[in-house]
Amino acid sequence: MKILLVHPRRRDKYKRTGSIKAYIPPLTLPVLAGLTPKNIDIELCDESVDDVDFNTDADLIGITGITSQINRGYEIADTFRKKGKKVIMGGIHVSAMPREAKDHADSILIGEAEDLWETIIEDFRNNRLKEEYMADTYTDFKKLIIPRYDLLKLNRYRSSSGTNIPRLPLQTTRGCPFNCKFCSVTKFWGPKIRMKPLENVEKELLRIRSLGTNRIFFTDDNFIANISYTKKLLELLKEYDFSWICQVSTNIYQHEDLIAKMSKAGCSAVYMGIETFSEENLENINKRFNKMVDYNKLFLLLNKYNIRATASMIIGLDGDTKESLEEMVRLLIRLRVSYAQFYLLVILPGTQLREEYLKENRIIDNNWDHQNGTVVTFQPKSFQVEELQDYCWALYNKFYSYESIIRRIFTLANLKGGVNSIFVPLRSNLYFLKKLKSRLHPIEN
């Protein structure tokens, strides 16, 4: 028996799948491969670096993808089914829109796959594949699964500095208690933080190192969700020479000791969902904890310990005006933020925000391809649609202007940090500027 697992590439507005190399491989495919019994032949296809082989001899096709990839996933599924192949689909979008997904698959998986994958394989082998599998509980996250990164074509990704393969993903926790209106994480992963045993994390770290890289991206939605666990993890990371990046909540500024430990353990950059500086907006999207953040202290501490920060901002919230958005960019520049990503508000299925916008009849574009942060798919309150679309570009151009880059990168802290403290963020900022001049969106590959 042979299984082909496919991670579809997101289509652009012309419905092309493109061939630009990705930075980081998907984690789901290697994890499922690691769960697959050894007597099963398994092949992985990440369409961002590989073409789907529609003439494969695989018996079962598995497809997963987020909302902005799902239309391409449906195309792939439909093509395989026309050729007589059995297709199973899963992932966060399928779990939110199961009826829709059933039109394109022989079977769907709702929820987390870890506790069901071997059952699915056994059912398929015995010709009793069900139309639907549902995870009734969250996996306890304690089972050792070594992701099969080796089954990906690692040499086709953009290589990480100092290696010939990409930065590899690793997950140590799941769950988020915050339940922001625009986010689907709490609904899919649950509100409780589940932690992977550190002995299992260490085995995964060693596996990554055996592949010839020490570069990691922690996919945890909040690396510091359980600070006690994080500190133990940092002690483990200190034993190895890894360079890593992660996502953290803004309250990290309250824990300078933790920031210092992260820096010593190899953290080079963090990604933070600031979303907006408007208290009205934060209230509306149920992200109230960001209202109390001392951003001056936050970025001073990150700069002090030579950790670069990416601020993720949402554009198009109901409280946004031209004046507030201009002030937002000015503040990001004044705070010396290394990088910023401006996402036009994404209305994801399964979120409270989408339910509200549907009731208000404000969704004007139902093409899932466009739920990627680069297209206005809703009726804004204070802007015309095209006006907001253009304004997002203007914000990018201002933040990544030469004047802004010089002010943000050539700081006293960076100068004290050595050549790389200047060179790395400068190179990346100039790369984003080059993309903008070619009218290419910085958050797209």
Q: What's the CATH number where 295 sits?
A: 3.80.30.20
| 368, HSE (Cβ side, Cα atoms, 13 Å) | 21
Residues 6+ apart with CB under 8 A from 234: 258, 261, 262, 264, 265
Please check whether residues 118 and 165 belong to one and the same domain. no
Shared domain check, 371 and 245: yes
124 and 189, same domain (yes or no): no
Is 15 a member of any domain? yes
**140 within domain boundaries:** no
Contacts of 71 (CB under 8 A, 6+ apart): 11, 367, 368, 369
**In CATH, what number is assigned to the domain containing residue 112?**
3.40.50
pLDDT at 14: 44
Q: Into how many domains does the chain fold?
A: 2
Distance CA 145, CA 184 (A): 25
* Residue 302: count of CB within 10 angstroms of its CB: 27
**What are 134's strand-pairing partners?**
110
Tokens coding 442: 């910085």
* Low-confidence residues of the chain: pLDDT under 70: 12-20, 444-445
Rounded-to-integer distance, Cα 445 and Cα 441, Å: 8
Domain of 85?
2-134
Beta-strand pair 173-174/194-195: antiparallel
| pLDDT the model gives residue 13 | 54
Interstrand relation of 107-110 and 194-195 (parallel, antiparallel or unpaired): unpaired
Please check whether residues 130 and 189 belong to one and the same domain: no
Task: Give domain status of residue 142, yes or no.
Answer: no
In a domain, 151, yes or no: no
**pLDDT tens for residues 127-159?**
999 999 999 999 989 999 999 999 999 999 988
Question: pTM higher than 0.85 for the full model?
Answer: yes
3-state secondary structure the chain: CEEEEEECCCCCCCCCCCCCCCCCCCCHHHHHHHHCCCCCEEEEEECCCCCCCCCCCCCEEEEECCHHHHHHHHHHHHHHHHCCCEEEEECHHHHHCHHHHHCCCCEEEECCCCCCHHHHHHHHHCCCCCCEEECCCCCCCCCCCCCCHHHCCHHHCCCCCCCCCCCEEECCEECCCCCCCCCCHHHHHCCCCEECCHHHHHHHHHHHHHCCCCEEEECCCCCCCCHHHHHHHHHHHHCCCCEEEEEECHHHHHCHHHHHHHHHCCEEEEEEEEECCCHHHHHHCCCHHHHHCCHHHHHHHHHHCCCEEEEEEEECCCCCCHHHHHHHHHHHHHCCCCEEEEEECCCCCCCHHHHHHHHCCCECCCCHHHCCCCCCCECCCCCCHHHHHHHHHHHHHHHCCHHHHHHHHCCHHHHHHCHHHHHHHHHHHHHHHHHHHCCCCCCCC
**Are residues 115 and 164 both part of a single domain?**
no
pLDDT digits (tens, 9 = 90+) for 64-73: 999 999 999 9
Are residue 111 and residue 43 in the same domain, yes or no?
A: yes
- Considering the domain boundaries, does residue 286 fall inside one? yes
pLDDT at 429: 95
The answer to whether residue 152 is domain-embedded is no
Of 427, 376, 433, nearest to 402 (Cα)?
433
Do 203 and 103 share a structural domain? no
Cα(52)–Cα(65) distance, integer angstroms? 14
How many CB atoms are located within 10 Å of the residue 163 CB?
16
Whether 145 is in a domain gets the answer no
Instruction: Give the number of other CB atoms < 10 A from CB of residue 445.
Output: 14
Among candidate residues 119, 134, 149, the one where a domain is terminated: 134
- Owner of token pair 């770290």: 205
Is there a single domain that holds both residue 63 and residue 209?
Answer: no
Measure the CA dihedral 261/264/267/269, to 10°.
Answer: 90
CA nearest 9: which of 52, 55, 59, 53?
52
pLDDT value for 10: 86
179 and 302 co-located in one domain:
yes
- For residues 186 and 71, state if they share a domain: no
Task: State whether 209 and 118 are in the same domain.
Answer: no
In a domain, 170, yes or no: yes
